[in-house]
Amino acid sequence: MRGKTKVGIIATSCCLVILFGYLVSMMEIFPKNQLDSSLRKAIESKRGAILYIHEITPFKWDRLDIYTPYTSYKVEKSRKIDVDEGHCHLIFSENGTMVAKLKFKRYYGDFAGLYREGGYTPATARFNVSNSNKGSWVKLE
């Protein structure tokens, strides 16, 4: 009887750890990479001010395309990417070649109204960060 109890406790513990890990990854609590982390920090520190994207990118780029929810775009070999309602995709390119892609959770910074035909240059990729209450979605304009 004792052996079955130990196995049950271990199995339950493993299931809870897996469930917790799944929930944390789905909620995207932790940044996926340096660009994601830098953008989150910059948005939080720039509430009520202007965010200059070129200040947080550690790589060279000449165009930023922002794809908003319910849109799609093509990448290598015409593969189509659909953007879901909870994210915006930021695609950085240099001389027509993609150098970075970020699937950014809208909760941390909502770029949803910022699609622009032709994209943004480092000089034009500047956005006003709303000064809404902490804990709510931060809108960029």
State the residue for tokens 């960060």.
129
pTM listed for this prediction: 0.75
Kindly state whether residue 83 falls inside one of the protein's structural domains: yes
Task: State which residues form the domain around 75.
Answer: 31-128
| Dihedral (CA of 84, 105, 101, 124) sign | positive
Tell me what pLDDT residue 37 has. Answer: 87
Predicted local distance difference test score (pLDDT) of residue 139: 86
Pair 42, 109 in one domain? yes
Q: How many domains does the chain have?
A: 2
User: Could you tell me the mean pLDDT of each successive run of 10 residues in the chain, 141 residues long?
Assistant: 60 48 44 80 89 94 93 79 89 92 90 92 94 75 88
24 Cα distance to chain centroid = 15
